[in-house]
Amino acid sequence: MKKLIAVIFLFASVGIYLFIYFPSDERKVKNYAKSEYGIDVEVKKVSNKGFGSDETYVVFPENHEDLEFAISFPNGAGEITDNYSRALAADEKLHQLKKVMPGIKGLGFEASDNGKLKVNFVKIGKDPSENKYLVNLSSPKPIEIAKFEEEDLDKYFKLLTLIQESRAEINRVYITDERSAVDSNTIEFNMDNLKNVKTKEDLLFHLKRFNWELASYYANKKWESEKEKIENGRFTFGSEYDDYWFNCGELNEQEECTSILALVKFKENSLNKQNVYLKEDLISILHFFDRIAPKANIEYRFIEKGSNESKRFTEYEIKKYHDISAFIDKNLR
């Protein structure tokens, strides 16, 4: 009996020793948070990107689940790292936003993280001041780009006003409608550039500049009649699968596109050296886009009717040749 008690005591002593001097990974995480920040945390999940990678623990303080942050333990030599300070800043912004959330919901918007408002953060570069704080909202009402100015601009201006009134220093707000990923649209508020916006017209100008679909819609609309003048039976712009006959990535202050992706569809079996009109048509296309956006980076996607394969060329690649004939001779069969 005495031997049994001695064995039990020995195992208990070993267990206590291991618990104190070789704590579990989860206990190490909790000890770190307590030591560094004086808080008791719960572990939400653990991630590891593969063999030899650091282990990252997503944790939150007890009774404060909104304040999620990550603690990473190096695999081998190195320091334990965390993003507590950034998460703390995000949490402060979150609580500021929560004050205006009833008004935001009254406009017809919802928090997109399973109905829960969340402020996400990303780090850019090594300077902590380069942190970006992001919010995602959802819109049960479809965002129809062609009807946005007429039907939705007032509501989005009120949304911007509420966010500004919260005084939460958010860098980006993304509003995405609830249709399938293929059909849905997103409106981005670049809050860094919206600080001085005072009117709906100012807001629309900024949204056109930094939302490629709005930029594309208005740029297409502006040049539609000119486009129709140069289209002919040999080529047309756009396709039945695209909403826009050219995509405008972004507008500058003068509302000129600074990056363009243009789709040009040619007749069957005509995108070749045997097409005697190809040089004339390519010159017409290039001159047209030089007028639309003289300062833009342009990429062309040429495709023949009935084909699924396209040929892509940047304007720079085309203009490296001394004339269009040389380009055709080198790049087309």
Cα 152 to the chain's mean position, in Å? 22
User: Is residue 164 pLDDT above 60, yes or no?
Assistant: yes
Same domain for 280 and 172?
Answer: no
Section 165-183 average pLDDT: 94
Looking at 66, 82, 98, the residue that finishes a domain is: 82
Section 266-290 average pLDDT: 94
pLDDT of amino acid 16: 39
Section 308-315 average pLDDT: 91
- C-alpha dist (Å) from residue 277 to 85, 233, 267, 323: 64, 11, 11, 15
User: Is residue 70 pLDDT above 70, yes or no?
Assistant: yes
Same domain for 223 and 298?
Answer: yes
Same domain for 53 and 131?
Answer: no
pLDDT of amino acid 329: 93
How many CB atoms within 10 Å of residue 233? Answer: 7
Mean of all residue pLDDT scores within the chain: 88
Sign of torsion, CA 265 266 271 277? negative
314 and 299 in contact (C-beta within 8 Å)? yes
Report residue 267's pLDDT band, with 50, 70 and 90 as the boundaries. very high
pLDDT of amino acid 18: 35
User: Is residue 2 pLDDT above 60, yes or no?
Assistant: no
Which pTM value belongs to this model?
A: 0.83
Q: What is the Cα–Cα distance from 58 to 77, expressed in whole angstroms?
A: 21
Report residue 179's pLDDT band, with 50, 70 and 90 as the boundaries. very high
Q: What is the Cα–Cα distance from 238 to 226, expressed in whole angstroms?
A: 14
Q: Which domain holds residue 28?
A: 1-82
Report residue 112's pLDDT band, with 50, 70 and 90 as the boundaries. confident
Same domain for 11 and 50?
Answer: yes
pLDDT of amino acid 114: 80
User: Is residue 100 pLDDT above 90, yes or no?
Assistant: yes
Same domain for 269 and 316?
Answer: yes
Section 279-294 average pLDDT: 94
DSSP-derived secondary structure for 274-330: T-TTHHHHHHHHHHHHHHH-TT-EEEEEEEETT-S-EEEEEHHHHHTSSSHHHHHHH
Q: How many domains does the chain have?
A: 3
pLDDT of amino acid 4: 47
Looking at 30, 47, 82, the residue that finishes a domain is: 82
pLDDT of amino acid 45: 84
pLDDT of amino acid 160: 97
